[in-house]
Amino acid sequence: MSLRSHVDMCLFVRIMRADVEHVSSQGIEDLDRAKDVEPALRLWRAQYEAHTTTWFHELYHYWQGLRLPFLFWFACYSFRWIMTGFRDFMRSNLPFDQWNGIAPQLEYLSLKQHCLYMGVGEFILRVEDVPPPSGWKCQAMLSPLDLIEGATSIAEWQVQSPTHGPNTKEFFRWCKRHPAYVDAFQFVTQALGSDELALRCFNPLVEAAFHTSQPVRGFVELLSRFIPFLESPIGKAFIAQNEPCRWSFLFQDFLSEIEFEAKPNSIRGVYLEMPFCLMERDTWIEASWDGADFLHPYLTPNARTWSKLEKQDPLLSLVLSQLPWSSQTAFDTCVNNFYPPLTLLHLAATDGKNRLIVTGGERQKDPALDPLASGNLLWLLTAFSVVRRATGSHFDPGLRLCHHSNCPRYEGNYCNLYPVIPARWQDCGFPDRVQEIIDVLSHSK
The share of the chain scoring above pLDDT 70, in percent, equals: 86
122 plus 242 within the same structural domain: yes
Mean pLDDT of 137-153: 96
Mean pLDDT of 416-420: 90
E-only strand ranges, 98-219: 113-119, 122-126, 138-142
Does residue 119 form part of some domain? yes
Does residue 33 form part of some domain? yes
pLDDT band at 46 (very low <50, low <70, confident <90, very high): low
Does residue 213 form part of some domain? yes
Does residue 278 form part of some domain? no
350 plus 438 within the same structural domain: yes
Region of 265 (left: φ > 0; alpha: ψ -120 to 50; beta: rest) is left
229 plus 141 within the same structural domain: yes
252 plus 151 within the same structural domain: yes
Listed range (13-22, 162-171, 203-212) with the worst mean pLDDT = 13-22
CA distances from residue 271 to 66, 104, 275 in whole angstroms, order as listed: 22, 8, 9
Q: Where are the alpha helices (DSSP H) in 68-143?
A: 69-90
30 plus 121 within the same structural domain: no
229 plus 124 within the same structural domain: yes
138 plus 224 within the same structural domain: yes
Total Cβ atoms within 10 A of residue 315:
16
Q: Is the pLDDT of residue 105 over 90?
A: no
Total Cβ atoms within 10 A of residue 438:
17
Using alpha carbons only, how large is the chain's radius of gyration in Å?
23
Strand partners, 295: none
Mean pLDDT of 159-165: 81
pLDDT at res. 295: 82
CA distance 297 to 288: 10
Q: Is 294 helix (H, G, I), strand (E, B) or coil?
A: coil
Does residue 74 form part of some domain? no
Indicate the number of domains in the chain: 2
Total Cβ atoms within 10 A of residue 379:
16
CA distances from residue 182 to 176, 199, 202, 314, 412 in whole angstroms, order as listed: 11, 11, 11, 29, 35
pLDDT at res. 50: 64
E-only strand ranges, 265-377: 343-348, 354-359
Amino acid, res. 289: W
251 plus 121 within the same structural domain: yes
pLDDT at res. 213: 96
Q: Of 27, 39, 18, which Cα lies nearest the Cα of 347?
A: 18
Q: Is the pLDDT of residue 1 over 50?
A: no
Q: Of 255, 303, 296, which Cα lies nearest the Cα of 277?
A: 255
Continuous segment of H or E residues that includes residue 95 = none
Does residue 304 form part of some domain? no
Q: Is the pLDDT of residue 53 over 80?
A: no
Q: Is the pLDDT of residue 134 over 70?
A: yes
Q: Is the pLDDT of residue 158 over 50?
A: yes
Q: Is 267 helix (H, G, I), strand (E, B) or coil?
A: coil
Q: In which domain, by residue range, is 141 found?
A: 113-257
Within 13 Å, how many C-alpha atoms sit on residue 409's CB side? 19
Which domain-ending residue is among 257, 287, 309?
Answer: 257
Q: Give the Cα-Cα-Cα angle 214, 300, 316 (nearest 5 degrees).
A: 80
Model confidence pLDDT, tens digit, residues 315-340: 999 999 999 999 999 999 999 899 88
129 plus 212 within the same structural domain: yes
Residues 330 and 319 sit within 8 Å (Cβ to Cβ): yes
Of the spans 3-7, 64-68, 371-375, which averages the highest pLDDT? 64-68
Q: Is the pLDDT of residue 7 over 90?
A: no
Length of the chain counted residue by residue: 445
Which domain-ending residue is among 205, 223, 257?
Answer: 257
pLDDT band at 251 (very low <50, low <70, confident <90, very high): very high
137 plus 230 within the same structural domain: yes
pLDDT at res. 267: 86
Residues 216 and 276 sit within 8 Å (Cβ to Cβ): no
245 plus 141 within the same structural domain: yes
19 plus 129 within the same structural domain: no
Which domain-ending residue is among 257, 282, 297?
Answer: 257
Does residue 244 form part of some domain? yes
Does residue 272 form part of some domain? no
Q: What is the pTM of this model?
A: 0.90
pLDDT band at 185 (very low <50, low <70, confident <90, very high): very high
